[in-house]
Chains A and B, each alone.
Chain A
């Protein structure tokens, strides 16, 4: 049976190219790492005995439980932080919304582990807050002790994922949803519980599952807070130990990935068929009302307390970067610009490299993201959804695993036109970064393409443009807002990535900022300079985020103009 429908060879070729890319740079490296977990060290045969050991070892059971507990609690704490912020911005005409929207996203762009250092200085057992409390009230609060510390730092770092998704969800609820409930006699908390929250649930679940995944996989924060009884640190400690070829580290890596995939699957099940986006053309979100005076007072108080907590890592980092000596005291002994001077003199290459790597990675991401989104939504290729699944699965692969996978896979190969191993070529670092950040860009591109009506493309084809021309002249320009947003998200997060970077950097002149911060932070005199470098990273990324916001907002305004006319 032959179909007479027009087949597009270009799409098939694109599909194959992307599939090859994902296979070589994500699937194969990860499988190479996983393979070790299934090898019996005594015989060299394939076995599951290592997994048996994992589940029989009380330390690993405890680590598993702790990771689960910390991830779960972080979701809860992040929710507690996000709920009032999302509520104030979406339900009220509240001047503080601007502050929330701009400052609420800053935590995400803090390089991992740097935040933990700053938080230790502020909230540690002898940090500024506890020193003050001890002096004036005679007691201290163990914010940063053990698992609590991890939960504290993680929820402050990752809550924007919930805030962003929840706010979007709330904004997408048509006001008639709420009004019809009021009309039928419901109001206040009951209305929120029965109508608003269930409708915002999909967004919330999406954000919460992201927080869960990130915390579950995160290595830097527990490591810096010296919490070892969790899965990710256990994997890292075992994989990086001297001379030990214990497969348990790899077993844990497999379990981390499998469990993360499982969590993603559960979340997607929960979201299935629940696209509650009910907003009508021209109709904007829930009804916003003005706050009464005392409501304003309460709202501002809550927002300021939350923002103070949320921005404390940045505050701490600023103090550290300008401080001379900061030891067992509320504030540094003195202030000096010398750390900034020294980083700009000594290591400008870190900044240059970061800009190059992060922008290259983000460029690869949006190209792949747009292409995959297009294939998934617009082509009829049979396995097109697998591209989407595979790309998203990158979310579940810890950077460390990817880094080791790259070393294993590409070490034997040489770079084109040279005799350097492929694995230590800086381009591989860029590719690793782009794979790690692809899920963000892909989601942005997919939702952007969703908003491009198919009839707009059909109109172009009808007027004689072929597929390529249509994509180039119609689809991509219409997606540009989403693509740019994807670019900046990828750029911002790639700029502060450490876990894959640290495995792959092969020479200092090729190293990016996050690596530089890590290096500085390993010596007594380098702490201030490391913090200064951290501030540079924050500024670079914050600028990027700011522009992405501008672009997204502009796009939204343009779209709503179209709808209103």
Chain B
């Protein structure tokens, strides 16, 4: 029964694609967005275009890219619809995206300091999102923990073991947050701050949704999340709240047309729809809660809804350098994993010891030394910026003659040795200091 149904469908698609002018009756979208978001757009667009059916192919951003790369030789998908601009950069770099510029009006060039659309026209921003801090109100109240406001707050001892975050290598948007702080505070100070915050981590989740999930259920109290996770959790009724710290990057969430898309007409119409007034308004839905890129849509927003086009404090502190971010993308992720994700226990233990030493008014020289050890980086910013070195982390050999020296596993192991020794020494010093 299934077979006949499917083959009938296939036949009807084929006949439909034969009739020229008509829009295709099918659209396949690879997306990392949750069902709560996709289903609203799907039903609204399908209502507008009777007979058209959208397939939402839900993949994690990383898996989505992998999927598109693996299937490129015989592409069946039309659109890639996800948050992180750098994910689109990867696809663009692999020549898997097609140019399309929507005719939609009223969309400014930048949100915060980030350009909304790809300057080359390969992908289009449809909503803005920024990283911030989300917390569980019941949790904080029960444990008598103050509500955090800035990234610095999360370095305080009171938050020890109460913070969650996902690894930047797992989630493109998390990467942006890490990179934003590195760009805002500088390489060494930025990493030092990240490690101070990470010392308070309860967990580093593998899925980016693991963070809001953990805060929602109360596994940990505070999460570093992208705004819509916080806003939509609140909208769904969880006892949680969200705020933007000063140093945050507002970045657009994007949609891009894939090369050789089987249904280009429908795909382009969908992009236009996203940017239309109707599409932008859907973003305000209480289970979605993303920042529209059309400033006029904010007129319909509920009270207290952040408006980056009015409130210039949101996302303005960092002048985000996309080129720099892209050049060291994998390297930063790998560093984060080596220093934080995979050495979580060592880091947490050393941080706890330092916090205890500080509370006990231990030898301040030794404490400073211990802190310096934790902050110490296995490589300098200059080294990280060396394109030859960064290549080790992106070895897609284009031709068989391409040669790269050094292997990622080799480099990571060197870093790990340094980091592990430093953490152990910091722990020892902190314990000795009081």
Residues in A lying within 8 Å of B, measured CB to CB: 41-44, 49-50, 53-54, 56-60, 120-121, 124-127, 146, 223-224, 226, 228-229, 233, 237, 239-246, 248, 324-329, 346, 356, 407-408, 411-412, 414, 417-418, 420-421, 423-424, 426, 502-503, 505-509, 515, 519-527
Contact = CB atoms under 8 A, between A and B. Distances in A.
A527 B287 CA distance: 12
B417 A58 contact: yes
A245 B236 CA distance: 39
A41 B397 contact: yes
Contacts of B420: 58
A242 B238 contact: no
Contacts of B36: 523-526
Interface in B186-225: 202-207, 209-210, 212-213, 216-220
Contact of A125 (B62, B219, B287, B409): B219
Contact of A327 (B87, B203, B238): B238
Nearest to B26: A507
B394 interface: yes
A179 B35 CA distance: 63
Contacts of B2: 356
27 contacts: A50-B409, A53-B407, A56-B409, A56-B410, A120-B219, A223-B206, A223-B207, A226-B203, A226-B204, A241-B170, A243-B396, A245-B394, A245-B395, A245-B396, A327-B216, A328-B136, A505-B57, A506-B57, A506-B76, A508-B56, A523-B37, A523-B232, A524-B34, A524-B213, A525-B236, A525-B287, A526-B35
B407 A523 contact: no
A237 B60 CA distance: 12
Given A242-B172, A502-B63, A508 B57 contact: yes
Contacts of B408: 244, 246, 248
Contacts of A241: 62, 169-170, 330, 333
Interface in B378-425: 393-397, 400, 403-405, 407-410, 412-413, 416-417, 420
A508 B54 CA distance: 9
A229 to B, nearest CB: 6
A228 to B, nearest CB: 6
A325 B203 CA distance: 23
A42 B404 contact: yes
Contact of A49 (B39, B167, B407, B412): B407
Contacts of B403: 42-43
Nearest to B94: A243
A527 B341 CA distance: 26
A423 B209 CA distance: 28
Contacts of A324: 237
Interface residues of B, number: 88
B329 interface: yes
B19 interface: no
Interface string B36-52: 11010000000000000
Given A58-B416, A246-B409, A328 B142 contact: yes
A44 B400 contact: yes
Contacts of A356: 2
A95 B57 CA distance: 49
B10 interface: yes
B404 A226 contact: no
Contact of B342 (A44, A228, A519, A521): A228
Given A237-B169, A524-B238, A328 B39 contact: no
A508 B345 CA distance: 39
Interface stretch (B66-74, B123-131, B298-306, B350-358): B66-74
Contact of B404 (A41, A421, A526): A41
Contact of A509 (B55, B61, B63, B74): B55
B413 A56 contact: yes
B209 to A, nearest CB: 5
Contact of A237 (B39, B136, B170, B404): B170
A228 B204 contact: yes
B375 interface: no
A126 B216 contact: no
B10 A418 contact: yes
B28 interface: yes
Nearest to A326: B217
- Between A224, A418, A506, A507, the greatest number of chain B beta carbons within 10 A of the residue's beta carbon is seen for A507
Interface string B72-93: 0110100000000011001001
A325 B204 contact: no
A329 to B, nearest CB: 7
A421 B345 CA distance: 45
Interface string B286-327: 010000000000000000000000000000000000000000
A50 B408 CA distance: 10
Contacts of B206: 223, 226, 228, 233, 237
Contacts of B71: 407, 411, 421, 423-424
A519 B409 contact: no
A246 B61 CA distance: 18
B138 interface: yes
Contacts of A239: 66
Contacts of B172: 242
Contacts of A126: 139, 217-220
Contacts of B58: 508, 515, 519, 522
B393 to A, nearest CB: 7
A226 B396 contact: no
- Between A233, A248, A408, A414, the greatest number of chain B beta carbons within 10 A of the residue's beta carbon is seen for A248
Contacts of A248: 408-409
B148 interface: no
A49 B218 CA distance: 44
B240 interface: yes
B395 A523 contact: no
Nearest to A346: B39
A120 B217 contact: yes
Contact of A58 (B218, B235, B413): B413
- Between A54, A57, A502, the greatest number of chain B beta carbons within 10 A of the residue's beta carbon is seen for A57
A372 B63 CA distance: 36
Contacts of A245: 394-396
- Between B217, B236, B413, the greatest number of chain A beta carbons within 10 A of the residue's beta carbon is seen for B217
Contacts of B62: 240-242
Nearest to B63: A240
Given A241-B62, A502-B63, A44 B169 contact: no
A224 B210 CA distance: 8
A426 B400 CA distance: 35
A510 B245 CA distance: 42
Interface string B355-384: 000000000000000000000000000000
Contacts of B60: 240
A523 B330 CA distance: 27
Contacts of B139: 126, 328
B229 interface: yes
A325 B238 contact: yes
A325 B70 contact: no
Contacts of A424: 71, 76
- Between A226, A233, A329, A412, the greatest number of chain B beta carbons within 10 A of the residue's beta carbon is seen for A226
- Between A146, A423, A522, the greatest number of chain B beta carbons within 10 A of the residue's beta carbon is seen for A522
Contacts of A418: 10
Nearest to B333: A241
B267 interface: no
Nearest to B229: A524
B61 A242 contact: yes
A243 B36 CA distance: 28
A411 B287 contact: no
A328 B138 contact: yes
Contacts of B341: 228
A43 B397 CA distance: 9
A126 B218 CA distance: 6
